[in-house]
Amino acid sequence: MIYTAFLIKYAEIGIKGKNRYLFEDALVRQIKYALKKCEGAFMVHKAEGRIYVDVISGYDYDETVAALKTVFGISGICPVVYAEDRGFEQLTKDVFKYLDDVYPDKKKTFKVAARRSRKNYPMDSMTINRELGEVILDAYPEMRVDVHNPDILLNVEVREKIYLYSEIIPGPGGMPVGTNGKAMLLLSGGIDSPVAGYMIAKRGVKIDAVYFHAPPYTSERAKQKVVDLAKLVSRYAGPVYLHVVNFTDIQLYIYEKCPHEELTIIMRRYMMRIAERIAKETECLGLVTGESIGQVASQTMHSLAVTNEVCTLPVYRPLIGFDKQEIVELSEKINTYETSILPYEDCCTIFVAKHPVTKPNLKVICRHEENLAEKIEELVQTAMETKELMIVQE
Ligand code: ATP
Ligand code: MG
């Protein structure tokens, strides 16, 4: 590929006033993280209110663009060619080479958009526009000027170097991870929670995760699947601190002491309680789940209210209004779907009742939870003490 750099466009973060540099620094950091996995060497730098990725040595264009597309905060990726600053004649040669490389088919309309931020350059932008436009028309008779809606908007930016670019590849949008605190994601092996993690990370939130494992009812493969999902989410969210909690004894105890149709809801309340304890210990500002209203019995409005009641931290449910099909489409887009549908058992489904309550009554649930009074605090304490921490990244 002919490109020597990428100009990174960012939308929302450009408007953050005095905090702007914090957002830019976070974006630079996340870009570096994403490019670490790519072939080649790069230099990521800020210059004149912009972020550039300079290519230092051999790189794979598709791989690099794919990596940049995982960086939240990027609204557009412009592949750039640096033209030589050796007079107008050299500039036209560089422009012709650019057009030949990028647009082999010349049946196109174009417009030159010059910007001169280095004022000692001998031509002003109007002159560059006019004169470059003329030489392009002379060199390529098939090309036409269209100042309103050109096929090719050729940007010529005269800065400390001269930049040529015309393509904008859409980025993922959002805000750079690390600019908006941290949250604890309840990550199961299903389709929904990885997507929920992606959505919250997209708003600049760093993600820690907790998985409730119930061996031997859930296998090592089920756990590995969650690790794999965390790894896929980490492509976007950065390294994920994954807490694996052994939930078996708590689950068995609830099974023994509580009505079976209330098992799921009581279990979910204990998951939330434990997740909140870990969240508070790790300075997370909220919990995140993959719940969506009405998807299953434990996600009716009544059930969600009863589950939520045990939490004091805010619980973020980014998929709350999504249909399953919409969630599936998102999971395909972020590449978690194939892993999510692997058929390993889930700790919720093993103990699930034939007819779980869909309209749990908080008072009744609390009364039945009293059956657990003797041992539950000790079991929760043990679960906290024996949890395993894994740092997951691609
Ligand atoms: P998912 O597809 O995310 O597993 P689901 O449709 O299977 O969701 P539930 O099993 O009711 O729904 O779980 C609702 C939410 O609770 C999940 O999205 C996830 O955030 C959390 N959750 C469920 N099981 C676990 C688990 N074993 N470990 C951690 N979190 C869990
Ligand atoms: Mg599930």
Indicate whether residue 348 lines ligand 1 (CB < 6 A): yes
From 192, 272, 288, 292, the mutation candidate for ligand 1 (largest count of ligand atoms within 8 A of CB) is 192
- pLDDT over threshold 90, residue 186: yes
Res. 350: pLDDT tops 80:
no
pLDDT at 16 over 70: no
Structure tokens belonging to residue 195:
């997507």
Q: Please state whether 288 falls in left (phi above 0), alpha (psi between -120 and 50) or beta.
A: beta
- Surrounding ion ligand 2 within 5 Å at CB are 188, 190, 346
- Global pTM reads 0.91
Residue 349: the pLDDT is 64
> Which residue intervals of 239-374 are DSSP H helices?
248-257, 263-281, 301-308, 324-333, 337-340, 347-350, 362-369
d(CA 287, CA 362): 21
What percentage of the chain exceeds 70 in pLDDT? 97
With contact defined as beta carbons under 8 Å apart, do 201 and 35 qualify? no
Integer Cα distance of 291 and 106 in angstroms: 51
Axis crossing angle, helix 301-308 with helix 263-281, rounded to the nearest 10: 40
CA 291 / ligand 2 centre spacing (Å): 9
Q: How confident is residue 314, by pLDDT bands cut at 50, 70 and 90? A: very high
Neighbours of 108 (CB within 10 A): 15
Q: What is the model's pLDDT at position 21?
A: 82
pLDDT at 47: 81
